[in-house]
Structure 1
Amino acid sequence: MTTKKELKQLYEESFARESIRQNQIVEGRVIQVEDEGVLIDIGYKVEGIIPKGEFREPPKAGEKISAYVVKREGEEGLILLSKKRAEETIIWQTLSEAYEKQKLLEGTVKKRVKGGLMVDVGWEGFLPGSHLDLFPRYNLEEFIGKKIKVRIIKFDRKRKNLVLSRKVILEDERAKVKERIFSQTQVGDILKGRVKSLTIFGAFIDLGGFDGLIHIKDISYAHLRHPSEILSLGEEVEVLVLALDKEREKISLGLKQLRKDPWEEAEKKYPPGSIVEGKITTLTEYGAFVELEEGLEGLLHVSRVSCSSYLEKPSSILKAGEKIRVKILNVDSQNQRMTLDRRSLLWKEMEKKHPIGSKVKGRITGITRFGAFLKLEEGLEGLIHISDLSWKERVSHPSRIVKEGEEYESMVLDINPEEEKISLGLKQLAPDPYEKFKEERCLKVRVIDIAPFGVFVELEKGIEGLIHISQLAKRRVESCEDVVSPGEEVMAKIIKVDRKKRKIALSIKEYLLDKETEEMKEYMGSEKEAKTSLRDLMEKERR
């Protein structure tokens, strides 16, 4: 006899059988695997069958399976089921619930497609590139194979179309962090963060889900061209909160404010006149900025860069990054300005670099009536005075000896660091021809010009001398033409040589007197010898 409990179970099973309908998901157990398919017991008067091709591997008897009712009664009275459609239906039900309740889903990035990525969240959905992050991402391939959290923002079950977003999750997280940071943080607080990105105007610091900006001027006291000179991506830093703007959602941060300003002690540390070494950071048309230490720069004006105050561009002799010695001229800590000098140091070193008497080469850069300027190096010129161009020639203008733009060798005659002048000589490279003309020397000269006061004569080519009218003859001479004529060669004696003034004085009169004296000596010497010989003969006869 059937018990009450058994009748209730039969009733429920009968109700279940009647409730099985098309397009529903049922639970069952594997009975057996046949060639036609896999038989499933779903608690109905007939079994269900799932095509064998829907299984990657044959299931085992007794294994529980969820199946989708495709057709209530198929061939041979079996109910046609689908494991694949059941799984798909369950997935879409889960996705539908996630979309309606805006739940987070974890998915795996499968591949890149045009405009974004395909992400598997049980079903492949499209993640637009614009919804990948809070800021534009250009290398989408780096996400392939990674697991990410997303939210469904568009859902179309009929077309089986999903559009996903990671950005909305990050925005929610960012909003929570922002609220926490703005409510708990005050100006002057020190926070820890990580360098997230670097731009030409500053560095963005991740404060734990919300970014703050360190403007480039607040990174260092030094002049920076780019934040990467100090910071690197991923670096952990401590920063000072400079400003909070909740309405605009901005936090201004500072890095240099956590260190002491080097300008505070600059006047004590670098008194005027001190000589220090610095590194050139920037070159401009008006000068060079030299860093003495981090955050402390001085201006080396173009007029103080080289030995010359007429240098056109500092970049012609200096390079960024180069280390140089400079002299402190002035320090203004209040206005953060420092004036430097290099020119005076170079002039002090000049005597070692170009000692007096040394030979130098250079090109003629300018010619004036009083001399020519020779360029020794960039920013340094020396003057060859007109009097130092030639030993012999009377130079009326320097252009007769040197040409602008041509290279010449010269000798360093003098260096005056105080007046910043270098004197050079061209003629000093050859021996002074006046050296061989000594006083008392007698030589033949040629008359080249006659003046009322005397006669100009040529000792050799390029060397001239003067015979004063009083020195033309032993007698008084009224006119020079009475004694000599142009082109005539005469013998004369050098009576005075002034090498500084390049003057030689000669005398025909002195030559003639010397000659007479010599002849007299010769005559007197011969007469004495004759008398001596006669006396000797007479003494011999007496004996």
Structure 2
Amino acid sequence: YPVGAKFTGRITNITDYGAFVELEAGVEGLVHVSEMSWTKKNVHPGKIVSTSQEVDVVVLDVDASKRRVSLGLKQAMANPWEAFTAAHPIGSTVEGEVKNTTEFGLFIGLDNDIDGMVHLSDIDWNTPGEEAVQKYRRGETVKAKVLDVDVEKERISLGIKQLGGDPMTGDSFRKGQTVTVTITEVTSGGLEVRFGEEEAPMGAFIRKSDLSRDRSEQRPERYAVGDRLDAQITNVDKAARRVSLSVKALEMAEDKAAIEQFGSSDSGASLGDILGAALRDKAKAGKE
């Protein structure tokens, strides 16, 4: 019985520590509980195999002096982590069900009863992991990107935030740029908003004082979750991963542009005249 050879045998006895397999008349080997299944850990052998069942086994070790043959049941099957790597190389996208949420992250059910883990730091680009993990529920189907596979340690690292590019890389957002945002939360101090690509949205907070140039309009309660509005980017801090937004700055920029196009402080035209001309011009362009 050479080590590594594969044989077909019959289960003769099942114990707490494994199962005995008859290879031929008078020759039996033991499949230790740890060698029975790739994925069913800490499960009684009786829940994996049954007496008289015919099974394929691989010889792991032979001790001639003790007339003992050590067998492996799982070694006769494909290693699910190797199979996963072949089917889903690093960088590919997988889909699975959330099996569990822990203090470390999310466990996602994958092919062949194996799990992959999304670490807290790989859930969302902008939301802290402890907060981001709360959005997911057991049984929910999610997509994730394969970041790493360690076949020996039987670990698969996944990332949800990597499905979309990092919104802070490149020149996606610039100071002075106008963006359309969606309100995600209304607080007494201002508005929590999201904007940018759907796959990798950017979060920001518009302070109450930046909601309008008019003090009477600086009331967050005027808005509701889901409302959309335009705001101007007033600062981009890539190191802190923070973008500052202001509706007031956008209003002032639009007023300044209107004055430059339709009048000047020397022309004698009032601000009302200038803005009226700008609005008429905007309405005319909209009809065309």
* TM-score, structure 2 normalization: 0.52
Q: CA deviation at 1:300?
A: 1.6
Q: What is the RMSD computed on CA atoms of the aligned residues?
A: 5.5
Matched with 1:256 is: 74
In structure 2, relative to structure 1, the CA distance for the partners of 1:320 and 1:225 (3 Å cut) is: farther
Secondary structure at the counterpart of residue 362 of structure 1: strand
Matched with 1:287 is: 105
Residues 317-337 of structure 1, C-alpha deviations (whole Å, 9 max, x = no match): 334554321112344556655
8 Å contact kept, 1:384–1:426 = no
Q: CA deviation at 1:206?
A: 4.3
Query: Following the alignment from structure 1 to structure 2, what is the Cα–Cα distance between the partners of residues 186 and 272?
Result: 36
Secondary structure at the counterpart of residue 212 of structure 1: strand
In structure 2, relative to structure 1, the CA distance for the partners of 1:285 and 1:322 (3 Å cut) is: same
8 Å contact kept, 1:285–1:314 = no
Query: Following the alignment from structure 1 to structure 2, what is the Cα–Cα distance between the partners of residues 319 and 336?
Result: 24
8 Å contact kept, 1:412–1:423 = no
Give percent identity, aligned residues only.
22
Summarize the alignment of residues 262-277 of structure 1 with structure 2, pairs less than 5 Å apart.
262-264=80-82, 266-277=84-95
Matched with 2:192 is: 373
- 2:274 equivalent to 1:496: yes
Secondary structure at the counterpart of residue 130 of structure 2: coil
How many residues get paired?
A: 232
Matched with 1:393 is: 215
Summarize the alignment of residues 310-325 of structure 1 with structure 2, pairs less than 5 Å apart.
310-312=128-130, 316-320=134-138, 322-325=140-143
AA at the equivalent of 2:39: A
8 Å contact kept, 1:282–1:290 = yes
- 2:40 equivalent to 1:220: no
AA at the equivalent of 1:383: A
Q: CA deviation at 1:347?
A: 8.0
Query: Following the alignment from structure 1 to structure 2, what is the Cα–Cα distance between the partners of residues 333 and 320?
Result: 26
Residues 111-150 of structure 1, C-alpha deviations (whole Å, 9 max, x = no match): xxxxxxxxxxxxxxxxxxxxxxxxxxxxxxxxxxxxxxxx
8 Å contact kept, 2:100–2:108 = yes
8 Å contact kept, 1:413–1:423 = no
Secondary structure at the counterpart of residue 78 of structure 2: coil
- 2:48 equivalent to 1:231: yes
Q: CA deviation at 1:394?
A: 8.1
Q: CA deviation at 1:308?
A: 3.8
Gaps of 5+ in 1: 1-184, 349-355, 428-433, 440-467, 473-491, 499-543
Matched with 2:175 is: none
Counterpart pick for 1:362 among 165, 185, 189: 185
Q: CA deviation at 1:281?
A: 4.6
In structure 2, relative to structure 1, the CA distance for the partners of 1:214 and 1:189 (3 Å cut) is: same
Residues 47-89 of structure 1, C-alpha deviations (whole Å, 9 max, x = no match): xxxxxxxxxxxxxxxxxxxxxxxxxxxxxxxxxxxxxxxxxxx
Query: Following the alignment from structure 2 to structure 1, what is the Cα–Cα distance between the partners of residues 141 and 45?
Result: 22
AA at the equivalent of 2:110: L
Query: Following the alignment from structure 2 to structure 1, what is the Cα–Cα distance between the partners of residues 10 and 74?
Result: 14
Query: Following the alignment from structure 1 to structure 2, what is the Cα–Cα distance between the partners of residues 229 and 277?
Result: 32
Q: CA deviation at 1:257?
A: 0.1
Matched with 1:523 is: none
Q: CA deviation at 1:274?
A: 1.9
Secondary structure at the counterpart of residue 316 of structure 1: helix
In structure 2, relative to structure 1, the CA distance for the partners of 1:336 and 1:243 (3 Å cut) is: same
Q: CA deviation at 1:408?
A: 4.9
Q: CA deviation at 1:341?
A: 1.6
8 Å contact kept, 1:284–1:314 = no
8 Å contact kept, 1:221–1:294 = no
Matched with 1:303 is: 121
8 Å contact kept, 1:213–1:253 = yes
Query: Following the alignment from structure 2 to structure 1, what is the Cα–Cα distance between the partners of residues 42 and 247?
Result: 49
Secondary structure at the counterpart of residue 496 of structure 1: helix
* TM-score, structure 1 normalization: 0.32
Summarize the alignment of residues 60-139 of structure 1 with structure 2, pairs less than 5 Å apart.
none
Matched with 1:329 is: 147
Larger radius of gyration: 1
In structure 2, relative to structure 1, the CA distance for the partners of 1:325 and 1:253 (3 Å cut) is: same
Query: Following the alignment from structure 2 to structure 1, what is the Cα–Cα distance between the partners of residues 107 and 67?
Result: 37
Residues 256-296 of structure 1, C-alpha deviations (whole Å, 9 max, x = no match): 10022244465553233322223445543222343432265
Gaps of 5+ in 2: 167-178, 196-200, 232-237, 249-253, 260-264, 277-288
Query: Following the alignment from structure 2 to structure 1, what is the Cα–Cα distance between the partners of residues 186 and 154?
Result: 42
